[in-house]
Amino acid sequence: MGTNVMPSGEELLRFLPEMILAIFAVLVMLWESRHDEHGERPGMPAFALIGLGLAAAASIVAGAAPGYAFRNMLVVDSFATFFRLLLMGIGAMAVMTASPFLRARKAEGGEYYSLILLSLIGQSLMAASNELIMVFIGIEISSISSYVLAGYLKDDKRVNESALKYFLLGSFATGFLLYGVSWIYGLTGSTNLNEIASILGNADIAPDAVLTGAATALILAGLCFKVSAFPFQSWAPDVYQGAATPVGAFLSAAPKAAAFATLLRVFLTAFDPMADRWLPLLIVVALLTMVIGNLAALWQTDVKRILGYSSIANAGYVLVAVAAHSTLGISAVLFYLAAYSVMNFGAFAVVSLREETELKDFEGLAKRQPATAALMTVFMASLIGLPMTAGFFGKFYIFQSAIDAELYWLAGLGLLTSAVAAFYYLRVIAAMYMKPSPEGAPEMAVPAASQQAVMFVAAALTIGFGIFPGWLLDWATRSSGLLR
Amino acid sequence: MDLILFILFATIAVVCGISLVVQKHPIGSALSLIGVMGSLAVLYLLLGAEFIAAVQLIVYAGAIMVLFVFVIMLLNAGEEAPGGKSWPSRLLGVPLLTVFLGLLAYLMQLMAPSMGMVTFGSFNTGAKELGRSLFNNYLLPFEVTSVLVLIAILGAIVLARKEID
């Protein structure tokens, strides 16, 4: 065997962001162990942020020369680079929100930052994998660290329940996905996305359509769980409510964005030849996800739960753009995921300032903390999709792509459900501005500098993308061509 | 001879699999699982995948099952309490399972004529071929799995420590 085993420098460069994340995940732990166990342990968030910054820089450098790596295991194209940068941004927000949050609860440990970095490795691999085996390993890395993160504040009963629920349902869903992958391997003899596409696209050698359909459905079921789409959505509110708030913010943004990247890559590359079979299924899933997420959110009284159900509904909107099955649809997905990550993270960051997250605890917030209330209003307005916010253009592009694909009724129902959604987002705003402060409401501490930074940057981006969407849309459009 | 062995051990695997679910005592379930793992190892051996067979025995039937039994002993888990099933699961469980199995069998039967059949001993997956493939085509997944192991260790530390300080 004269084959060269060593990967070339170019291939290593395409894997550099993940390597940097792994190195910094270990460095954070080593740094922590240098300090006294019970004393102050400063510098860990800074380490994590430096790692994220370097990984983002490496993603840009690697993205400048698109191509395959490691025997076609990875594909680094503009699509993967978009997601890598988005994920690093989400990671940075998760680090900055969590650091004061955990310190206040005397629970700051290097493990938290390490787990965030390690889970980002998995998510960034999901966005860049060109092989079902890599997809599976990426999902496992992302999920298992998510389960641990969900159970991070383990003294709280609700945290434990949420982590256990997430773990049990999540491993079940991964089982579906893996079963589907094994069927695909049995049917096509390959796990490489391009090879699967060429086999399925060739009528002479394509395996039985019923069987490939079943395998595709299994993989879709696994991914639907990860993006919390109907009928695998019920875990989302419980997990986001139970987990520590910064963790909930991270879980509702990063693993979801990565799962959408995987969904797009796998279904628009490998299973594209049989698109007419899975598209109807996807349309139904998108429709029901929007309806169920939005209707169930109406009855919630906890702001974290409202955000949990809203994340289901938003997954439904993104699925509409996926179902449009066009380049325009992909760029709408990218735009919306970026906008959603920013506005949703901002809302979670506001919620993380408070111990109690019931709707009535937000009553009269505008009197006590006008700045925080104003920021929350910006995020809620963007989640509703009001003009001048990122959410407006996000929804606009999604429904435009659906109309272009002649999915008129899907776009119409999407608009209808987002009108329903306005009701529960407005309830939060109404509680802050229209209701008086309850008797004996506690004086709130001033948010820490890093939390303020996250909230203000998120609000600035939310409004910025709402007034000047062109820059983000250009980037999303440039990144919507999958390398196949 | 191969066929007789296959039918024998496939039957044992299925019976042990069912017994795993219906056993009331966790130790019974654990022992049934060892039966499943062991007979699967024989099936791998019949196909000619002796390395996988050995790994199956050492890792699953050996290491993992010992851990299972340890945990059961340490927790002193008793018999499963009966009841606690909701009426939809009582009513729909068995029929839905039958439908699912029937569908699966139908699909398999559909598949049978068009798909190539595996013959006994046709796999040539000794340790050498497996190693070569792991360090050539599958180098990246193989290496990245180490991250997964690191997360598992970290996760165990996070979830098992007494209190956060």
Q: Compute the distance between CA of residue A239 and CA of residue B45 in angstroms, rounded to an integer.
A: 43
The residue type found at B105 is A
Nearest Cα of chain B lies from the Cα of A124 at a distance, in angstroms, of 12
Whole-number pLDDT of residue B109: 80
The pLDDT tens digits for A466-481 are 999 988 999 988 888 7
Whole-number pLDDT of residue B114: 64
**Cα–Cα distances in angstroms (integers) from residue A18 to residues A160, A307, B67, B102, in the given order:** 30, 30, 32, 44
**Cα–Cα distances in angstroms (integers) from residue A254 to residues A120, A154, A158, in the given order:** 8, 22, 22
Is residue B164 in a domain?
yes
Mean of pLDDT values over A287-295: 93
The pLDDT tens digits for B119-147 are 777 777 778 888 888 888 889 999 999 99
End-to-end alpha-carbon separation of chain B, Å?
A: 63
Is residue B160 in a domain?
yes
Whole-number pLDDT of residue A10: 86
Q: Which of A25, A114, A133 sits opposite B141 (nearest CB)?
A: A133
Nearest Cα of chain A lies from the Cα of B62 at a distance, in angstroms, of 23
Question: B52: Cβ–Cβ under 8 A, 6 or more apart, which residues?
Answer: B44, B125
Q: Is B140 on the interface with A (CB under 8 A)?
A: yes
Mean of pLDDT values over B35-52: 88
**Is the pLDDT at A327 greater than 50, yes or no?**
yes
Q: Compute the distance between CA of residue A435 and CA of residue A442 in angstroms, rounded to an integer.
A: 16
A454 pLDDT tier (thresholds 50, 70, 90): very high
Q: Which of A14-23, A233-242, B44-53, B73-82 has the highest mean pLDDT?
A: A14-23
B window 14-73, beta carbon within 8 A of A: none
Residues B71 and B142 in one domain: no
**Do A438 and A363 contact (CB within 8 A), yes or no?**
yes
State the CATH number of the domain containing residue B45: 1.20.120.1200
Number of domains chain B is built from = 2
- Shortest CA distance to B158 belongs to which of A26, A152, A277? A152
**3-class secondary structure, A358:** strand
The pLDDT tens digits for A177-226 are 999 999 999 888 889 999 999 999 888 887 878 888 889 999 999 999 99
**Do A84 and A92 contact (CB within 8 A), yes or no?**
no
B84 pLDDT tier (thresholds 50, 70, 90): low
Is residue B22 in a domain?
yes
* Rama region for A279: left / alpha / beta (φ>0; ψ in -120 to 50; rest): alpha
Whole-number pLDDT of residue B47: 85
Question: A369: Cβ–Cβ under 8 A, 6 or more apart, which residues?
Answer: A444
Whole-number pLDDT of residue A434: 87
- Shortest CA distance to A220 belongs to which of A172, A268, A168, A177? A177
Residues of chain A in contact with residue B145, where contact means CB-CB under 8 angstroms, are 137
**Is the pLDDT at A314 greater than 80, yes or no?**
yes
Q: Is B153 on the interface with A (CB under 8 A)?
A: no
Nearest Cα of chain B lies from the Cα of A232 at a distance, in angstroms, of 18
What's chain A's average pLDDT?
89
**Is the pLDDT at A381 greater than 60, yes or no?**
yes
Helix boundaries (H) for B23-86: 26-47, 50-55, 65-75
Q: Which of A25, A26, A144 sits opposite B152 (nearest CB)?
A: A144
Residues of chain A in contact with residue B144, where contact means CB-CB under 8 angstroms, are 18, 121, 125, 134, 137, 141
The pLDDT tens digits for A329-378 are 999 999 999 999 999 999 999 998 887 788 888 888 888 888 889 999 99
Nearest Cα of chain A lies from the Cα of B54 at a distance, in angstroms, of 21
Whole-number pLDDT of residue B85: 65
Is A207's CB within 8 Å of B158's CB?
Answer: no
What's chain B's average pLDDT?
83
Q: Which of A106, A145, A153 sits opposite B151 (nearest CB)?
A: A145
Mean of pLDDT values over B88-117: 79
Is A118's CB within 8 Å of B135's CB?
Answer: no
Q: Which residue has the higher pLDDT, B13 or A160?
A: B13
Q: Is B163 on the interface with A (CB under 8 A)?
A: yes
Is residue B6 in a domain?
yes
The pLDDT tens digits for A267-277 are 999 999 888 88
Whole-number pLDDT of residue A437: 78
**Is the pLDDT at B76 greater than 80, yes or no?**
no
**Is the pLDDT at A1 greater than 60, yes or no?**
no
Mean of pLDDT values over B97-111: 84
Task: Give the alpha-carbon dihedral of A120, A122, A127, A132, to 10 degrees.
Answer: -170
A174 pLDDT tier (thresholds 50, 70, 90): very high
Mean of pLDDT values over B100-108: 85
**Is the pLDDT at A28 greater than 60, yes or no?**
yes
**Do A367 and A431 contact (CB within 8 A), yes or no?**
no
Is residue B105 in a domain?
no
Is residue B165 in a domain?
yes
Mean of pLDDT values over A423-448: 81
Q: Is B108 on the interface with A (CB under 8 A)?
A: no
**Do A301 and A358 contact (CB within 8 A), yes or no?**
yes
Instruction: Say if residue A100 is preceded by a cis peptide, omega within 30 of 0.
Output: no
Whole-number pLDDT of residue A370: 87
Q: Compute the distance between CA of residue A364 and CA of residue A431 in angstroms, rounded to an integer.
A: 7
Whole-number pLDDT of residue B165: 47
**Do A333 and A321 contact (CB within 8 A), yes or no?**
yes
Q: Which residue has the higher pLDDT, A35 or A58?
A: A58
DSSP state of A74: E
Mean of pLDDT values over A409-427: 91
> What chain A residue is nearest to B103 in terms of C-alpha separation?
A214
Beta-carbon count within 10 A of A203 CB: 7
Residues B6 and B75 in one domain: yes
The pLDDT tens digits for B85-100 are 677 777 787 888 889 8
B116 pLDDT tier (thresholds 50, 70, 90): low
Neighbour-count burial of A37, counting CB atoms closer than 10 A to its CB (0-12 exposed, 13-18 middle, 19+ buried): exposed
Q: Give residue B23's domain range.
A: 1-80
A484 pLDDT tier (thresholds 50, 70, 90): low
Residues B8 and B75 in one domain: yes
Q: How many CB pairs under 8 A join A and B?
A: 100
Integer Rg of chain B from CA: 21
Whole-number pLDDT of residue A230: 84
Integer Rg of chain A from CA: 22
Beta-carbon count within 10 A of A245 CB: 25
Question: A290: Cβ–Cβ under 8 A, 6 or more apart, which residues?
Answer: A313, A316, A317, A320, A413, A414, A417
What is the complex's ipTM, to 2 decimals?
A: 0.88
